[in-house]
Structure 1
């Protein structure tokens, strides 16, 4: 079937950043000798106990295996090729039964070890690309000036990837943590098989975006669909389910493991479609069945906001934000050739920015949580008090809700210093004012002091985000100007009036009490780096692992 370099990845805990590529096992004199990857090629089954094969292909039967039959597979000592063939074929049949679509072609599956996966990826980028990417993550207070954004994203990506589907190769790669025996997590396999059947039916290579908001919007459909099916798959594998006691899961330290991602903020930026997507799909399916879901591939969500709030799909198009350059002499706009010359991070980016302090450690996190967003607001709970398995995270809390569009421009001077202008449009002036109040709290958390009207400064010894900031509100629009120093703010944007002065007292934002206090009732469970040319983003296969991670990371962030 074709074609593009898009990949769709599934991670047990987190994957963030660039599309992985296949790579050879690590070499060298000290390299660990690893088992050869196991690869499945479809073969007709020879199972005397299985029901008779149908006269023609049908939903729930693939390559000689029915969805509900038992297969003779023991992966305690690793899978043989025949065992992997059987597992993949039966999983294809199971995905068909849930999703209501028929596979048109076989899907090769390969298993590699985590060390092999971690050694993959050798892409190179231009200086403009790297500056653009670094400055974007700095603007979101997710990656500091002393870190390389690509390296951080790669570290997140390699932490616990469970597998990926490549439309270019029409194949799946599963990643195992067990270096000695190659094992399968059937739920991860099922998730990736959903991507394969999406690709066969809807051609995923045509679903592209060059902004984070666009990528998360697309992933809200693509990964939301796969996660929704995976949740139905898990229910059928559970006790009392149709496939109980027949679904494969790895042993301890197998492919079902996972590590805490190095950067939780980048994690949350990418995780949004996998939390909100299944609820979005569930709402669409409730309205019109799988036919309604299928139609979405020809009418994609216009923003991540439409996935976070399914009722806004088709009814609340984002604003195309206008932002003219006003940089002075000695500064230039950073415009990489391989991507758009601006960034749009969307509501998921705003939410990740505000949530990261809960996990970052340092700062007055108690005050911040009280005034902006706290655990009870950020985590979605079921009526029994557990973190939701369907939609664990609330990207619609008050400080992020009301987003209607944003645009970032990045600048660089002759000394290599960077600055940016970030303009955000909100649904109302009140929403814009609420965002500014929360943003001031965020600046304070990272060590900023107000040094003039609308002007703030973070000193070098305060945090990794040492810079000057100018924040203004005009009606429903907020404009943030950033530069290395207060004096250079007007060089990045000439209309900025950032003269040092005695700051006027900033009113305590009463509205933020509703945005983040931990006194409100927990939410109940809902219903069922930007690549230049792709919507590639992380996939997450085990939300239960996420729940434990969130709890541990929150406690760590409070130290």
Structure 2
């Protein structure tokens, strides 16, 4: 499926002038910051009219009597700058670019910054050295099992390292709400600004933090974090798209040539790109109902799940909250529950996983890239070629109708070093939805090399020498599907009774 790989690569990297992974969620290690960048290119409809910026007739413009939208620290949004980006930006040049970019974000977002925002340009090597999270052993074990359950990272590799490798290659910048600082990543040793819209995107996060305190917005699970990130990143990307449009229509903008990253794990990329892809649609729905004020109100009660961003009408009233999925621990024969501890002292996190519809969709979409066998989807089902504001589709036939899920992870030192297992229960809106997912999941197992055990279609094994070599039991009862994983078929019942 190398042709499909090329289509997704082109879609992601053309749309993603500055792509990255979302920040740290309670269910994912991520980076040490809360947010990272996206990309840009919306239509003129998202550019406000009637702004206060004057016509730019030269390199300098008169300052207003008082601070106002479209002017920051001595610079108007449409002001010309005598700045050379090719040989790197010195401190005064960077200050000027940041001030002008803040003014531009104010124009597009129709909101005033409350304070200045420190911005640093660091090398990629420096970024990689800074982005190594301190995680508890239980959280590492839990995360490994979770990424194995999505068939992203096998037992031969650390899931945390796989995520760090991805973000180390493609993150272009991030805002850290712990110290209110933006850090932009330069490919070379010179402090060059790769793309001005990256700066604009991160400045939106700084603006969000000044009004909404991003540090207070935390999710207990991957799914909840993805829903919240869809609001946070959706607003930033919406403004970034409009920013890019203005760069080609009235604004002079800094940029430099660069080579897009290609050595990335596409499954993890698809998983983490969700808030940037579906977030703008959520923002558009909110703005249709109440303008930017409705977006501000949403920060008081962000989306609870990725599903609410995939289908924005399920976030607005009446809200469709995720179903509570019950799952009892029945493990025996030495299998014990892994309850991941928070890496932050004094804080708690959920001791289970809820991956959500975006993760399920990424799990199936990854088959377009990984192997040469027949994928479970076509590129047209995943890639929206003509819509840069919503480039990837997370509403797939086998994931539509998701109602809720719950993942428990287990370990057993008696059956060998680093032996883990999991039980994943998924609720669906209807029996038909559950049946479609179960059928799709069994085809996914077949894709990864699983074959039935003793003719039993609901019990399958992947060869032991494979990175995903394990046994799986897939059962459906009405609208609920339960997946049980264990090292061998004989241990399935010990992990979770039939």
Query: Given the alignment, which residue of 245, 250, 257 partners 1:242?
Result: 250
Cα-to-partner distance string for 1:46-79 (whole Å, 9 max, x where unaligned): x995232111111000001111111111111111
State the 1:108 CA deviation: 0.7
2:170 to 149, 160, 168: 160
How does 1:488-503 map onto structure 2 within 5 Å?
Answer: 488-494=491-497, 496=498
Partner of 1:436: 438
Counterpart in the other structure of 2:89? 79
Alpha-carbon distance change, 20 to 205 in structure 1, aligned in 2, over 3 angstroms: closer
After superposition, the Cα gap between the structure-2 partners of 1:122 and 1:231, relative to the gap in structure 1 and judged at 3 Å, is: closer
Deviations 1:222-268 (A, max 9, x none): 00000000001011112xx231xx11112x23xxx431243111111
Cα RMSD of the aligned pairs, angstroms, is 1.7
Q: Structure 1 stretches of 5 or more lacking a match?
A: 1-9, 22-46, 383-387, 497-559
Aligned to 1:402: 401
Q: Which of 180-189 and 393-402 deviates more?
A: 180-189
What is the distance in 2 between the residues matched to 1:464 and 1:63?
A: 55
**Equivalent position of 1:374 in the other structure:** 378
* Higher mean C-alpha deviation, range 259-268 or range 444-453: 259-268
Hey, what does 1:109 align to over in structure 2? 119
User: Is the 1:160–1:259 contact (alpha carbons within 8 Å) kept by the matching residues of 2?
Assistant: yes
Secondary structure of 2:351's match? coil
CA distance in 1, matches of 2:124, 2:476: 48
Counterpart pick for 2:19 among 8, 13, 16: 13
RCO comparison, higher one (Cα < 8 Å, 6+)? 1
Distance 2:352 2:431 in 1: 24
What is aligned with 2:485? 482
How do 1:55-134 and structure 2 match up within 5 A? 55-134=65-144
Mapped contact 1:334–1:410 kept (Cα < 8 A): yes
Counterpart of 2:211 in structure 1 is 201
Shift of residue 177, structure 1, vs aligned partner = 0.7
Structure-1 residue corresponding to 2:326: 322
Q: Give the match's secondary structure for 2:100.
A: helix
Q: TM-score, normalised by structure 2?
A: 0.86
Q: Secondary structure at the match of 1:174?
A: strand
Identify the residue that residue 293 of structure 2 maps to in structure 1: 291
Following superposition, the deviation at residue 453 of structure 1 comes to 4.2
How far apart in 1 are the matches of 2:133 and 2:282?
Answer: 34
Q: Cα distance 1:391–1:90, how it changes in 2: closer, same or farther (>3 A)?
A: same
Question: Alignment partner for residue 313 of structure 1, among 315, 328, 353?
Answer: 315
Distance in 1 (alpha carbons) for counterparts of 2:184 and 2:469: 41
Report the Cα offset of residue 323 of structure 1. 0.6
191-200 or 315-324: bigger deviation: 315-324
Distance (whole Å) between structure 1 residues aligned to residue 225 and residue 381 of structure 2: 25
- Partner residue in 2 for 1:214: 224
The alpha carbon displacement at 1:12 in A equals 2.1
Distance 1:489 1:11, change over 3 A: farther
Q: 188, 197, 200: which is aligned to 1:178?
A: 188
Q: Take 1:291 and 1:15, find their aligned partners in 2: how far apart are those partners?
A: 27
Matched-pair contact (CA < 8 Å) for 1:472–1:480: yes
Q: Is the 8 A contact 1:15 1:159 kept in 2?
A: no
**What number of residue pairs does the alignment pair up?**
441
- 2:75 & 2:412 partners in 1: Cα distance? 63
1:335-354 equivalent positions in 2, closer than 5 A: 335-338=339-342, 339-354=349-364
In the alignment, which of 228, 231, 240 is matched to residue 238 of structure 2? 228
1:69 and 1:470 mapped to 2: Cα distance?
A: 63
